[in-house]
Amino acid sequence: MNTSIETMTIDELRIQVCEANRALPASGLVRLTWGNVSGIDRASGLWGIKPSGVDYQALTPDDIVILDLAGRVIEGRLRPSSDTKTHLHLYHELPQIGGVTHTHSIHATTLCQAGRELPCLGTTHADHFHGTVPIVRALTEEEVASDYEHFTGVAIIERLSQLRLDPLEMPAVLQLHHAPFTFGKNAMDSLNNSIALEMCAQLALGCLALDPQLQPIPGHILEKHHLRKHGPGAYYGQKGA
């Protein structure tokens, strides 16, 4: 278990997950109800997710559905998000993470639909993502028919494993034909990574429109910017913040 991940009561978990979901419309990442955020308390193995189809501004902490790592609903009167099995598989396979966000934000989803990875073209990207944000393969016909949401999670884990990526160093993937998923230390951190991903995708699409042959940022600059925020010698921000 990663002891750096915070522990919380169920009430605290509900509040955190509710606040992250309620922040989605203001973030500009969602239209209608096209997105969800979840968060987990690793100490108890309980996690919360937005209920399916509920308007964000009407959402209250009591509406958040609490599940265990077997996928059983522990508390909640509403049906959980249709993406619940994807989040569940990610929590099973990525013990480092404490939150997951899934949206259909315009620019990141454009890359997903085009089957294009997101190269690191500048320091804005390097600050959040340690290199190229990868594309995850399309699901097979058999996977879609068998258990679409579960196998979405399986494909994400497969891609991260193939590339040997740490989900906190590369806290985002682009699901081919679908939309992005981001990870974080908690629910709000995963949302912030979705905001960063969308901005980086918008910047990249604009840059590549200006110069389709544009090359990625030099490696030494990428490393400097990423590690000053995320490395063992990180010095961005305040201690304990």
On the question of pLDDT at 227 being above 80, the answer is no
Is 236 a known active-site residue?
yes
Domain span including residue 174: 10-230
For residue range 108-140, list pLDDT tens digits in order: 999 999 999 999 999 999 999 999 999 999 999
Choice between 5 and 235, residue whose per-residue pLDDT is larger: 235
Is the residue at 35 inside a domain? yes
Among residues 11, 55, 62, 236, the one annotated as catalytic is 236
Q: Is 89 contained in some domain?
A: yes
Domain presence at residue 184: yes
Side chain identity at 13, as an amino acid letter?
L
Which residues 6+ apart lie within 8 Å of 186 measured at CB? 5, 6, 16, 39, 98, 99
Task: Please report whether residue 109 resides in a domain.
Answer: yes
Nearest partner of 125 among 218, 200, 29, 17, judged by Cα: 200
Tokens of 75: 């508390």
127 part of the active site: yes
- Judged against a pLDDT cut of 80, whether residue 76 lies above it is answered with yes
pLDDT band at 1 (very low <50, low <70, confident <90, very high): very low
Whether 197 maps to a domain, the answer reads yes
Is residue 52 within 8 A of residue 149, CB to CB? The reply is no
Euclidean distance between CA atoms 41 and 19, whole angstroms: 16
Q: How far is CA 58 from the centre of its chain?
A: 23
Determine, yes or no, domain membership for 59: yes
Q: Which candidate in 62, 63, 127, 189 is catalytic?
A: 127
Check which CATH number belongs to the domain holding 207 and give it: 3.40.225.10
Is residue 182 one of the residues assigned to a domain? yes
Q: Please give the pLDDT value at position 236.
A: 63
The answer on pLDDT for 48 being more than 70 is yes
Looking only at the bridges linking them, the beta strands covering 172-175 and 135-136 are parallel
What mean pLDDT, rounded, does the chain reach? 92
Task: Kindly state the helix (H) or strand (E) to which residue 35 belongs, with its residue range.
Answer: strand 35-41
Alpha helices (H) along the chain: 10-22, 24-27, 84-93, 106-114, 123-126, 141-163, 187-210, 219-230
In this predicted structure, what is the pLDDT of residue 183? 97
Q: Given pLDDT bands bounded at 50, 70 and 90, which one contains residue 7?
A: confident
Number of domains into which the chain is organized: 1
Kindly state whether residue 33 falls inside one of the protein's structural domains.
Answer: yes
Main-chain dihedrals φ then ψ at residue 92, nearest 5 degrees: -65, -45
